[in-house]
């Protein structure tokens, strides 16, 4: 959510930003919210004047009565009642207008960074850099669930009976490899100075609307029936929510946290073969990183965050690339975003394994996360990035470490988490 003062003073810039995001249907919202904001400020001014006048006249009543000026005192009382009645009307109007302004402001997209490429959708995202040499072996690489099944490591049929499509059982060495990735990612981020955290896996609606747009919420979140609770789609939601309505001392910034959680997503819509199996699912586990920092430091932290993911995948010899999201592919709260994509030897292309986002002060403004600085209070900047999100990460790991005989080499960094095993041997 952008600053209403900025919108009021720069309506053309806000409209151009909307056009850059190819959301022209939202253009009328700018003029509409300016008009409503003017009415809201007028109502607030009248309410403030009414309170001041009511207080002034109220103080005069006692003196008038003490002086025997009963008629004037009664007239003053009538005036106080008149002020109070009109004040109640103004306060109700303030509330109604405030809700309308907030609703519209939450629908207007955040101002994107000038460096973001302009494009309609993800087909116009821009490759930034490749890391590692993509390899296509001279033997056929099976679909990822077939690789897992060769180790007796996945059971989709039982999962469908228990929970439906989009769920899975991981078994044996594949389950252990999954946990090894999470544990290694946790320690990797701790070694980089981040504080480890396990957050709540459910959040209230006030936090949901603070961390994402309404469209994202509808597409992603599972609502708990009969309660004001949602299952988290990523631990970023509850980690940023941790700071709701707080004032942070400037000298304690930045706050750098890495969090583990299961994640739950609706994943609406039909998907092709490359998004079946355990690629696009309703439940998965994830190691996340978040930063709360001063505005002038958010660009620096953005670059550090996506580099962390690149470095982690390269430590497992998985080739990756970074892809900058164009304007039309940015969620409304985001200022700038990079995807990290891993190489798939089977598909002979890259696929997304992580997403790094700078949200500026949008989440902080919605959740009232302020910093107490030497020159006064201001809104913090928030950033987040995926460390790893298995089982999708397992696809990259298995494909890039598969041998012709069906065995899978375990990267050296994961071997301590696998009881010293250097290789997985298929049993089918």
pLDDT, one tens digit per residue, over 115-170 is 999 999 999 999 999 999 999 999 999 999 999 999 999 999 999 999 998 899 99
Peptide bond into 294 cis (omega under 30): no
If you ran DSSP here, which 8-state letter would residue 258 be given? E
Residue 220 sits in the same domain as residue 303: yes
Tokens matching residue 149: 């099944």
Residue 302 sits in the same domain as residue 274: yes
308 in a structural domain: yes
Which of 62, 80, 105 lies at the terminal end of a domain, its last residue?
105
> Mean pLDDT lowest for which of 55-69, 323-337, 363-377?
55-69
Distance from C-alpha of 424 to C-alpha of 428, rounded to nearest angstrom: 12
112 in a structural domain: no
Taking residue 370's Cβ as centre, other Cβ atoms within 10 Å add up to 19
User: Which of 372, 367, 393, 394 has its CA nearest to residue 382?
Assistant: 367
Determine the pLDDT at residue 181. Answer: 96
Tokens matching residue 210: 């603070």
Q: What is the CA radius of gyration of the chain?
A: 27
Residue 64 sits in the same domain as residue 31: yes
Mean pLDDT of 348-362: 96
Residue 15 sits in the same domain as residue 146: no
Report the half-sphere exposure of 418 (CA within 13 A, side-chain side): 22
Number of domains making up the chain: 2
Residue 130 sits in the same domain as residue 101: no
Q: Is the pLDDT of residue 270 over 70?
A: no
Q: Please give the share of the chain, as a percent, with pLDDT higher than 90.
A: 83
359 in a structural domain: yes
Residue 20 sits in the same domain as residue 159: no
113 in a structural domain: no
Q: Please give the share of the chain, as a percent, with pLDDT higher than 70.
A: 98
The residue range of the domain holding 87 is 4-105
CA 180 to chain centre: 25
User: Which of 333, 324, 331, 332 has its CA nearest to residue 359?
Assistant: 333
Determine the pLDDT at residue 274. Answer: 53
Determine the pLDDT at residue 268. Answer: 63
Q: What value, to the nearest 5°, has the Cα angle with vertex 287 and ends 282 and 290?
A: 115
- State the DSSP string of 150-207: HTT-EEHHHHHHHT-TT--EE-HHHHHHHHHHHHHHHHHHHHTTPEEE---SEE-HHH
Does this model's pTM top 0.85? yes
Work out the burial of residue 107: count CB atoms within 10 Å of its CB; fewer than 13 is exposed, 13-18 middle, 19 or more buried: middle
Distance from C-alpha of 217 to C-alpha of 347, rounded to nearest angstrom: 31
Residue 138 sits in the same domain as residue 253: yes
114 in a structural domain: no
Residue 335 sits in the same domain as residue 366: yes
Q: Is the pLDDT of residue 303 over 60?
A: yes
Which of 105, 134, 158 lies at the terminal end of a domain, its last residue?
105
What is the arrangement of strands in the sheet containing 246-249, beginning at the earlier edge strand? 246-249, 369-373, 376-379
Determine the pLDDT at residue 139. Answer: 95
233 in a structural domain: yes
pLDDT bucket at 253, cuts 50 / 70 / 90: very high
User: Which pLDDT tens digit goes with each residue over 306-337?
Assistant: 999 999 999 999 999 999 999 999 999 999 99
385 in a structural domain: yes
Residue 408 sits in the same domain as residue 264: yes
Distance from C-alpha of 83 to C-alpha of 81, rounded to nearest angstrom: 5
Residue 54 sits in the same domain as residue 134: no
115 in a structural domain: no
If you ran DSSP here, which 8-state letter would residue 139 be given? S
Average pLDDT, the chain: 93
Residue 334, domain CATH: 3.30.930.10
Residue 73 sits in the same domain as residue 135: no
Which of 105, 134, 154 lies at the terminal end of a domain, its last residue?
105
pLDDT bucket at 45, cuts 50 / 70 / 90: very high
Residue 42 sits in the same domain as residue 187: no
Mean pLDDT of 61-78: 81
Distance from C-alpha of 17 to C-alpha of 65, rounded to nearest angstrom: 62
Determine the pLDDT at residue 275. Answer: 55
User: Which pLDDT tens digit goes with each residue over 391-415?
Assistant: 889 999 999 999 999 999 999 999 9
Residue 48, domain CATH: 1.10.287.40
């Amino acid at each position: 959510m952008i600053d209403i003062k900025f919108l009021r003073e720069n309506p053309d810039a806000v409209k151009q930003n909307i056009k850059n995001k190819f959301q022209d249907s939202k253009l009328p919202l700018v003029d509409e919210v300016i008009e409503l904001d003017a009415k809201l400020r007028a109502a607030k001014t009248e309410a403030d004047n009414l309170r001041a006048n009511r207080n002034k006249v109220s103080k005069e009543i006692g003196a008038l009565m003490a002086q025997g000026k009963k008629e004037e005192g009664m007239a003053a009382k009538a005036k106080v009642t008149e002020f109070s009645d009109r004040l109640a009307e103004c306060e109700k109007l303030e509330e109604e207008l405030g809700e309308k302004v907030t609703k519209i402001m939450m629908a207007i997209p955040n101002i994107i960074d000038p460096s973001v490429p302009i494009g309609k959708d993800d087909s116009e995202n821009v490759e930034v850099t490749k890391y590692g040499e993509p390899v296509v072996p001279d033997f056929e690489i099976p679909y990822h669930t077939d690789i897992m099944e060769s180790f007796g490591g996945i059971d989709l049929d039982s999962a469908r009976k228990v929970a439906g499509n989009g769920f899975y059982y991981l078994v044996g060495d594949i389950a252990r490899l999954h946990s090894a990735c999470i544990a290694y990612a946790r320690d990797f981020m701790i070694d980089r100075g981040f504080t480890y955290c396990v957050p709540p896996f459910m959040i209230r609606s006030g936090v949901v609307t603070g961390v994402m747009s309404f469209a994202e919420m509808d597409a992603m979140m599972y609502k708990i029936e009969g309660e004001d609770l949602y299952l988290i789609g990523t631990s970023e939601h509850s980690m940023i929510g941790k700071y709701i309505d707080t004032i942070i001392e400037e000298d304690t910034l930045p706050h750098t946290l890495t969090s583990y959680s299961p994640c739950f997503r609706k994943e609406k819509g039909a998907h092709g073969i490359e998004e079946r199996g355990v690629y696009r699912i309703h439940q998965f586990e994830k190691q996340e990183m978040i930063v709360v920092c001063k505005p002038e430091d958010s660009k620096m932290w953005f670059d550090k965050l996506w580099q962390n993911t690149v470095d982690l995948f390269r430590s497992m010899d998985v080739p990756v690339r970074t892809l900058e999201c164009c304007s039309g592919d940015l969620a409304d709260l985001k200022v700038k975003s990079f995807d990290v994509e891993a190489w798939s030897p089977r598909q002979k292309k890259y696929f997304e394994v992580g997403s790094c986002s700078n949200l500026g002060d949008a989440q902080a403004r919605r959740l009232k996360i302020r910093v107490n600085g030497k020159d006064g209070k201001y809104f913090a900047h928030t950033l987040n990035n995926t460390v790893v999100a298995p089982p999708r990460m397992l696809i990259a790991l298995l494909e890039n470490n598969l041998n012709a005989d069906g065995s899978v080499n375990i990267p050296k960094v994961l071997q301590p988490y696998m009881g010293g095993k250097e290789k997985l041997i298929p049993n089918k």
